[in-house]
Amino acid sequence: MQSPLKYFSRIAASLCGKLGYVLGIGAMAASLSPLYATITDVKLANSPAAPQLLGTTIHLGASAQDTDPGPLTYKWEVEEPGSTTFSTLEDFDLDTNFTWSPSYTEGTYQLRLTARDYLAGTSAQVVVSYVVKALVTGSQPVAVPTAHPLVALLSAPTCPAGSTMSVAFEQTGSTVVHTTATQPCHTGSMNFYVAGMAASTTYTLTYQVKTGGVTTPGSSVPFTTGAIPPTLSFPTFTIPVPVGPLTGTGDSVVLNGYAQVPQFPLATDLSANIIWYYDQYVQLTRPVYGGTMLSIPSGQGTGTGPFGPGITQEQIVRESDLVGNVVHETNCDRVFEQLSAMGLTAPLSMFDHDAIRLANGETMVLGMVQQIFPAGTQGSKAPIDIIGTLIVLLDDNFQVLTYWNSFDHDCSDATCLNINRPGDYNCKTNGGGGCPPVLLSSPANDWLHANSIEYLPSDGDLLVSLRDQNWVVKIDWESGTGTGNILWRLGVDGNFTPEGVTGITYPWFSGQHDAGFVNNEETTFLVFDDGTTRVEQYGGDSRGQVWNINQTTMEATLELNQDLGAFSPSLGSAQLLQKGDYLFMSGNIMLGNGTIQVESLEYTPTGTNVYDLQSEGSSACYRGWRMTDLYHGTYNGSSGPM
């Protein structure tokens, strides 16, 4: 990111690019003209054929003929009933199949498939209609299974305009009630995914209408969940400190983002009963308010990006619903194509570590960029590949709005990120140990290794954790109009004076994860202190830390420095719970023989451990949360209550 003028120039370039695509300007025009078309016979197959009921899983297939050598990529879009615009399901990719499940609105959908040979500058598309019918035909709600055995689709009759509807669900014989997110009432049936239920268990589902502050229950319907497939692998859970009178039971869902084969993201209740999972091997970054999940999966590169075909590691950023259906998806090659048009030259090699949803519907995602610097940089004797950080802002259709590049910011004052302050890690293995999937040269210096990002609504700036620098920095973003410069650096040798640290060996965090302010304010700061530098020098365990930050006096007062009883050299989470307690999740405690322990610990503000959930398996856990349910996530990725 650079000056506001350059920012708006980039936005204009982006809009012109989109307009050019729609109108067929330049090379794309050839693809829309029969005289020059080289892509023909574009077909969008669907099975089963329309019409179908809401919630039906529909398999879409793409095919086309291309006289150029390709590669041929496809973009999948949908226009919902009543809409006049198409929404991206999956941006240009090599996939020739897409699974679609319309579950919220009945009517006639328009499905658009675009086939494109990016290297040849040609494209062609086809649009087909697909009719979806309502599940509800009378005044009684209907609950049906979905492709996920622990998720139901409840369909209720319409409700008055101006009101809202949600679904309350409770296990038979229980008094604990959970509630879905609300939806505004509209013409036609009201439809909800109901998730957070245990396997092979009967629940009562009740829709409820809220009008003018008064909630009125509607009719109820029973639903029995399915069994979890025996082929799926889960860690082994233990509860050394069970729920007690001091436990924050309002946050009764434990969501853990396991990220390695054979384990995957899953949620349990406080008794370690599995109540949801996403059986894809993804890096789960954030739950989104309303009941979707942001993640960074691996996937095949399109062959049109700077590194060519064959790249798979963390090439995708995805939003999926609670059944696992893709809501929006894009990939590194497609994003870099848009970034290049905005002036970025450093190649984007992968998405990594974080993607967050902003309150306006936009999405921020971290990526790694690489650039060759001259000999002498970071003490090198020859030109050296430096791996930096890219922050990409996507609109609500997963198209690029703008970006911040760590190589671009002004470094003329004391708060900058000095390129000659090396990180703690060198990359020698292609795609290994947190390194990007392709290195411009080897070895490469992993300079920053950003691993969490927070948007600060009070001033529109960004807070970013830089693991390899042992810093958390504030970036002058100002909602996209700032300078992009570093306002301050929190941590060892940074801009803040530590207070309340008498007698504490190495009070600052190091190798930290999930750093952020709580409750959308800029005073109480939470961080999971992995402690990599400290433990290497002095030994000890990972810690959970709470700091009070005064940006006027530039003082940071340590309020809680909780020893977590084990060392997690990487990964981890920190979160303020509704009750006022803190969650600290150690994501990578190595027990030996390939066994990894993940531990979610709840502490009171005075340091009393009031809940402890442990799991053991072969997968580390990138990030974890405690939530009231699977619907009320946070907008901006802060460490505040879900």
- Residue 162's domain is classified under what CATH number? 2.60.40.10
Domain membership flag for residue 341: yes
Same domain, 454 and 332: yes
Domain membership flag for residue 565: yes
Same domain, 162 and 107: no
For residue 367, is pLDDT > 50?
A: yes
Tens digit of each residue's pLDDT (9 = 90 or more) over 88-139:
999 999 999 999 999 999 999 999 999 999 999 999 999 999 999 999 988 9
Are residues 356 and 637 in contact, defined by beta-carbon separation less than 8 angstroms? yes
Domain end call among 80, 103, 133: 133
Same domain, 295 and 417: yes
**Which pLDDT value is given to residue 527?**
98
Are residues 189 and 154 in contact, defined by beta-carbon separation less than 8 angstroms? no
**Which pLDDT value is given to residue 634?**
60
Same domain, 81 and 209: no
**Which pLDDT value is given to residue 6?**
35
User: Given pLDDT bands bounded at 50, 70 and 90, which one contains residue 31?
Assistant: very low
Tens digit of each residue's pLDDT (9 = 90 or more) over 626-637:
999 999 876 444
Domain end call among 165, 197, 224: 224
Same domain, 215 and 292: no
For residue 13, is pLDDT > 60?
A: no
Q: Whole domain around residue 201: which residue ranges?
A: 142-224
Same domain, 85 and 181: no
For residue 414, is pLDDT > 90?
A: no
| Mean pLDDT within 461-465 | 97
Q: What is the DSSP string of 266-281?
A: EEEETT--EEEE--S-
Number of domains in the chain: 3
Domain membership flag for residue 381: yes
For residue 5, is pLDDT > 80?
A: no
Edge-to-edge strand ranges of the sheet holding 152-156: 142-145, 152-156, 190-194
From the number of C-beta atoms within 10 Å of its C-beta (0-12, 13-18, 19+), residue 170 rates as: middle
| Mean pLDDT within 256-284 | 94
Same domain, 410 and 357: yes
Same domain, 260 and 194: no
Domain membership flag for residue 213: yes
Same domain, 193 and 303: no
Would strands 384-394 and 348-357 be described as parallel, antiparallel, or unpaired?
unpaired
Domain membership flag for residue 375: yes
Same domain, 179 and 325: no
Bridge partners of 397, per DSSP, are none
Tens digit of each residue's pLDDT (9 = 90 or more) over 508-548:
999 999 999 998 789 999 999 999 999 999 999 999 999 99
Same domain, 43 and 180: no
* Residue in the structure block whose two tokens are 């940089």: 377
Domain end call among 133, 150, 166: 133
Type of residue numbered 19: L
The pLDDT > 70 percentage for the chain reads 93
| Mean pLDDT within 141-153 | 98
Domain membership flag for residue 450: yes
